[in-house]
Amino acid sequence: MSTIELGMPGRGLAGVPLLAEDAPAQTKKEFTSDQEVRWCPGCGDYAILATMQGFLPELGLKRENIVFVSGIGCSSRFPYYLDTYGMHSIHGRAPAIATGLATSRRDLSVFVVTGDGDALSIGGNHLIHALRRNVNLTILLFNNEIYGLTKGQYSPTSQVGSITKSTPMGSVDNPFNPVSLALGAEATFVARSMDSDRKHLTEVLRAATAHRGTSLVEIYQNCPIFNDGVFAVLKDREQAATRILHLVDGEEISAGDTVVVRGEAGSLTVVDRADADPARIVRHDVHAEDPSQAFAISRLIDPTLAHVPMGIFRDVDRPTYDDLVRDQVDASVEGLGGAASDADLDELLTGKDSWTVSA
Amino acid sequence: MVIQGMTATIQQLDRVVIRFAGDSGDGMQLTGDRFTTDAAILGNDLSTLPNFPAEIRAPQGTLPGVSSFQLHFADHDVLTPGDEPDVLVAMNPAALKANLADLPRGATIIVDTDEFTKRNLAKVGYAVSPLDDGTLESYAVHPVALTSITVEALAGTELSRKDKERAKNMFALGLLSWLYTRPTQSTERFLALKFGGKPDLLHANLLALRAGVNYGETTEEFAVRYEVGPAPMKPGRYRNITGNIALSYGLVTASHKTGLPLVLGSYPITPASDILHTLSGLKRFGVTTIQAEDEIAGVGAALGAAFGGALGVTTTSGPGLALKAETIGLAVSLELPLIVCDIQRGGPSTGLPTKTEQADLLQAMFGRNGESPVAVVAPQSPGDCFDIALEAVRIATTYRTPVIVLSDGYLANGSEPWAIPSIADLPGQRVAYTTEPNAVDDKGDPVFHPYLRDPETLARPWAVPGTAGLEHRVGGIEKADVTGNISYDPDNHDLMVRLRQAKIDGIADTIPPLEVDDPSADAKVLVLGWGSTYGPIAAAVRDLRLQGHHVARAHLRHLNPFPPNTGEVLQAYDRVILPEMNLGQLALLLRARYLVDIQSHTAVRGLPFPSSALADVILKAVNA
Ligand code: SF4
């Protein structure tokens, strides 16, 4: 097997047509479809939808060039409520479908909306391969640590011991940490945010959309019906101040009086600032090629949510799958002198070993 | 007619069946392929049957490791790879043992005596060499020290002994080429291309090829050479083509004709992978290939591309079709064009990956949840795989529906001479997307209804992302008629289920009637087939007619929907015989649909029907 050098393509949404300069600014209303939103009252999905509808106009993209693809689950109803192109597909398969769409259409901005069951259980394979390939997609993973649509079974992010409809004595399987999983799958952009923090979510979405390649944004989302309050401690102002470790590029990672320092064997730990050895205090490097530190940060979380890193874990450039695939096709077509003619195809069909039978 | 030649008499034959057999590492497929090309260039009609183990390199010299390639070439129309080989080239004892039972008495056997060692004989349970104990006395055996003569012929080269031995397949090809008076130029050209960068290997292979020819010429081992004249064929340009290549080229041609870029989403699986390989080499025709992480992702990528306006294609075999079922169901609901090629192999489960079967018909028809109709078509010969691809794309794009193409391992790897069509003369026209609103709302403003159907085809509009004003959402949840909004209304669901079915049924209006081949118009028995049984059935029927029997024959290329006259055709005969390489799947469908008492004849041996066996079955019905 031989390898060849790959060039680095343009950034962000290069290739997706923008609105005309003199076009009137888009509004939230334009991105809102005429369909009645049908999540349960109080569901965190409402807040995420509102943030998204508010954020999309800011991109200045043509609405018709935006596509939302979802799988199955409460969150996957998302596309119906946005007046863009959309597909509500089947369980777990949205990343695969979106890969085909994004690869064949350079002019589209493609979002995937998925949940913890959809992305990490039935669709786990597609998720890791989308991340590995670095397809130009923005994946929003609504994590409520429960199955909502099927009425309350534990999910692959539910904590061990979760008492649910299908685990009356408590769940026994170890949950995934979605951020660690994504980093392990060589994701180029990984972030975490929360349904109720509109400002933070908008910022993260802005960066995720600007990233060329697969962006994975884990969004903590409250399901008031089947798993109410699972992130409550992060929503309480006072508690959040000591628990949420804000990730800011180039800055120390801290919450309240604590700060993240280098620990043993490559790990990181959270210590009181007063006790911290200044030489061991970690500065966040969002663009570090090596994902090890980002991974170590992702491990700081614990089941009690004592420390929860929030923000962008990793944002690095790597050629995207769809750009590279299109480059190969384009180079081949151009090499032939443009789109194939009838004669080119006749030549293909004739091949190298043909013969003539005369009358 | 016997002509006195230079070194041997030349005898004219009208047909020959040769089987090359050896270890999977012996290069028998290549040898067979080359002989085939030479036969084709000489103007013979032909048909081939490669037969290889699923393991890439099963233990050397064992029965499971035997790989073979059968070629039937003739001076007349050839319909099958032949029931019984006239000549067996056996490169080792295993190859002899595995194939001997298929040979008729009197057949010619050429063996590589160098491989008939004690050890190799023991590997396949021969206590004494069958060359010495009279086992082969009713055959014309030619023992040739193939390996050592090849090595000797290459004595002057720098190659290792192993590399020298590897050239023995070219020696065998040279010898057979001499025996059947075939020129070797095209093989020489082929070798020059193959070993362009490796002059020493090229030289060695050419030497071995020549040595094989010279061996025939100079030894007195073979007293007679044979000649098979060209078959009458319609004037035109021909090439030899396998089903998988023809299918690939058909898809590319359809993409060119429709103006829709071809996007293949596929996961490697035998015997479909060659389509992925071929299409991945055709990027210059704007073809995008995505080797997906699994079968489901393969069809998912194809469907995603179709949503974006591409000609979405996925290729697979039976186990993969099972995995793709849910996504095909989604495509039924989304009503988007999608081409699903199932190159059938022996099942269930992993089954017989390298052997042929037709047992996915019911899976293609019904292997999804809910009422989920799709169009199903099946090619009847390797060359027909090209035409069926065009037809599948026509149906998919006209009716916005998934179409399943049921090829099989026999068509995929088998080959035949193919009259090369001219692109300009082929059917197919540019497909246009919907670009304008198609309705008005209460206020009289233009709106787009994604499920407002074409009254004739019942197809819904295909509006692709990037089209301003037609933004819409589709999904697998039941949709309201016309608007496409989510709907749980009972009457609406009943209507939508019937509409989707009616749309598929309506395809029958645009497919040609089932043609019956009944030259005497006196037949009481109709033999019906579908897919790759075309050759064996046609050959059997031809033989029976030559014996003076009246038999009618018809072949279905459209399996869902059936051609509109299918019922009439079936009812016009006293008896209908339906041979299938399954346990009667099409028979089941036809009986249910047309209430005709079809006589199902089935075999699931992983091999095409021998036409002589079919002729016996048909004859019984004719005489009944
Ligand atoms: S079940 Fe939970 S996640 Fe689903 S809509 Fe209701 S509140 Fe939201």
CA distance B355 to chain A (A): 27
CB environment A122-157: b (16+ within 10 A), e (fewer): bbbbbbbbbbbbbbbbbbbbbbbbbbbbeebbbbbb
Predicted local distance difference test score (pLDDT) of residue A5 = 58
**Backbone phi and psi for residue B271, each to the nearest 5 degrees, phi listed first:** -100, 35
Separation between Cα atoms, residue B556 and residue B534, nearest integer Å: 9
CB environment B267-303: b (16+ within 10 A), e (fewer): bbbbbbbbbbebbbebbbbbbbbbebbbbbbbbbbbb
Q: Do B281 and B326 sit in the same domain of this protein?
A: yes
Task: Please tell me which of the candidates B238, B296, B471 has its beta carbon nearest to residue A84.
Answer: B471
Q: Do A101 and B469 touch (CB under 8 A)?
A: no
Residue where a domain stops, chosen among B380, B395, B425: B425
Give me B98's structure tokens.
């595995």
Q: Do A85 and B471 touch (CB under 8 A)?
A: yes
pLDDT-derived band at A182 (thresholds 50, 70, 90) equals: very high
Q: Do B409 and B489 sit in the same domain of this protein?
A: no
Q: Which residue of B has its CA nearest to A104?
A: B305
Whether the Cβ atoms of residue B226 and residue B180 lie closer than 8 Å to each other: yes
Separation between Cα atoms, residue A73 and residue A80, nearest integer Å: 13
Residue where a domain stops, chosen among B480, B510, B540: B510
Task: Identify the CA nearest to A87 among candidates B363, B84, B52, B464.
Answer: B464
Atom of ligand 1 nearest to the CA of A142: 3
Q: Do A96 and B297 touch (CB under 8 A)?
A: yes
Stated as kind and residue range, the H or E segment containing B2 is: strand B2-4
Q: Do A80 and B288 touch (CB under 8 A)?
A: no
Q: Is residue B233 part of a domain?
A: no
Return the best residue to mutate from A223, A228, A231 for the ligand 1 pocket (most ligand atoms within 8 A of CB).
Answer: A223
B45-51 vs B9-13, strand pairing mode:
unpaired
Q: Whose CA is nearest to atom 2 of ligand 1?
A: A223
Residue where a domain stops, chosen among B425, B448, B478: B425
Q: Do B191 and B118 sit in the same domain of this protein?
A: yes
Atom of ligand 1 nearest to the CA of A38: 5
Task: Identify the CA nearest to B22 among candidates B87, B110, B92.
Answer: B92
Q: Do B564 and B619 sit in the same domain of this protein?
A: yes
CA distance A70 to chain B (A): 9
Q: Which residue of B has its CA nearest to A352?
A: B239
Residue B342 DSSP SS3? strand
CATH number, domain containing residue B142: 3.40.920.10
Handedness of CA B56, B57, B59, B64 (dihedral sign): positive
Q: Do A126 and B475 touch (CB under 8 A)?
A: no
Predicted local distance difference test score (pLDDT) of residue A9 = 43
A350: chain B residues, CB-CB within 8 Å: 237, 239, 420
CATH number, domain containing residue B376: 3.40.50.970
Separation between Cα atoms, residue A219 and residue A241, nearest integer Å: 18
Predicted local distance difference test score (pLDDT) of residue B319 = 98
Distance A112 CA to ligand 1 centre (A): 19
Q: Is residue B87 part of a domain?
A: yes
Q: Is residue B42 part of a domain?
A: yes
Q: Do A353 and B41 touch (CB under 8 A)?
A: yes
Separation between Cα atoms, residue B233 and residue B75, nearest integer Å: 10
Task: Please tell me which of the candidates A104, A125, A342 has its beta carbon nearest to residue B261.
Answer: A104
Q: Do A100 and B233 touch (CB under 8 A)?
A: no
Task: Identify the CA nearest to B410 among candidates B352, B362, B361.
Answer: B352
A18: chain B residues, CB-CB within 8 Å: none
Lowest-pLDDT range of A100-109, A218-227, A295-304, A348-357: A348-357
Separation between Cα atoms, residue B29 and residue B173, nearest integer Å: 11
Separation between Cα atoms, residue B596 and residue B576, nearest integer Å: 8
Q: Do B506 and B520 sit in the same domain of this protein?
A: no
Q: Whose CA is nearest to atom 6 of ligand 1?
A: A40
Q: Do B184 and B329 sit in the same domain of this protein?
A: no
Q: Do B477 and A345 touch (CB under 8 A)?
A: no
- Please tell me the total number of residues recorded for chain B in this structure: 624
Q: What is the CA radius of gyration of chain B?
A: 27
Number of compact structural domains in chain B: 4
Burial of residue B127 (number of CB atoms within 10 Å: 0-12, 13-18, 19+): exposed
Task: Please tell me which of the candidates A35, A64, A101 has its beta carbon nearest to residue B485.
Answer: A35
Round the average pLDDT of chain A to a whole number and report it.
94
Query: What's the mean pLDDT in A85-111?
Result: 98
Distance A141 CA to ligand 1 centre (A): 14
Distance A232 CA to ligand 1 centre (A): 16
Structure letter (DSSP) for residue B366: H
CATH number, domain containing residue B599: 3.40.50.920
Q: Do B336 and B376 sit in the same domain of this protein?
A: yes
Q: Is residue B377 part of a domain?
A: yes
Q: Do A86 and B473 touch (CB under 8 A)?
A: yes
ipTM (interface pTM): 0.96
Residues in contact with ligand 1 by the CB-under-6-Å rule are A 39-40, 43, 45, 74, 144, 148, 223-226
Continuous H helices in chain A? 44-59, 94-104, 116-117, 124-133, 178-184, 198-210, 232-235, 237-243, 292-298, 321-335, 342-350
Structure letter (DSSP) for residue B194: H
Q: Do B352 and B392 sit in the same domain of this protein?
A: yes
Return the best residue to mutate from A37, A74, A140, A164 for the ligand 1 pocket (most ligand atoms within 8 A of CB).
Answer: A74
B590: containing domain: 516-623
Distance A221 CA to ligand 1 centre (A): 9
Q: Choose the mutation target among A127, A353, A356, A358 for the interface with B, i.e. most B CBs under 10 Å.
A: A353
CA distance A105 to chain B (A): 7
Handedness of CA B22, B24, B26, B31 (dihedral sign): positive
Q: At a CB cut-off of 8 Å and minimum separation 6, what does B114 contact?
A: B145, B146, B147, B148
Predicted local distance difference test score (pLDDT) of residue A11 = 62
Percent of chain A surpassing pLDDT 90: 89
Predicted local distance difference test score (pLDDT) of residue B501 = 98
Q: Is residue B31 part of a domain?
A: yes
pLDDT along chain B (624 residues), means of 10: 55 94 90 92 92 81 92 94 95 96 95 95 94 92 95 92 93 95 90 90 94 92 90 93 98 98 98 98 97 98 98 98 98 98 97 96 98 98 98 98 98 95 94 97 95 98 97 97 97 98 98 97 97 96 96 98 98 98 98 97 96 96 94
Q: Do A64 and B284 touch (CB under 8 A)?
A: no
Q: Do A354 and B236 touch (CB under 8 A)?
A: no
Give CA B390 to chain center in angstroms: 16
Atom of ligand 1 nearest to the CA of A151: 1
Distance A223 CA to ligand 1 centre (A): 5
Q: Do B449 and B418 sit in the same domain of this protein?
A: no
Q: Whose CA is nearest to atom 5 of ligand 1?
A: A39
Q: How many CB atoms lie within 10 A of CB B342?
A: 26
Distance A42 CA to ligand 1 centre (A): 8
Residue B176 DSSP SS3? helix
User: Per residue in A115-124, pLDDT tens?
Assistant: 999 999 999 9
Task: Please tell me which of the candidates B283, B305, B424 has its beta carbon nearest to residue A101.
Answer: B305
B252: chain A residues, CB-CB within 8 Å: 345, 348
Q: Whose CA is nearest to atom 3 of ligand 1?
A: A223
Whether the Cβ atoms of residue B354 and residue B345 lie closer than 8 Å to each other: yes
Q: Do B483 and B364 sit in the same domain of this protein?
A: no
Q: Is residue B234 part of a domain?
A: no
- For residues A254, A258, A261, A267, the Cα torsion angle rounded to the nearest 10 degrees is -90
pTM score over 0.90: yes
Predicted local distance difference test score (pLDDT) of residue B7 = 58
Separation between Cα atoms, residue A261 and residue A278, nearest integer Å: 8
Q: Do B271 and B216 sit in the same domain of this protein?
A: no
User: Per residue in A36-59, pLDDT tens?
Assistant: 999 999 999 999 999 999 999 999
Distance A116 CA to ligand 1 centre (A): 13
Q: Do B491 and B560 sit in the same domain of this protein?
A: no
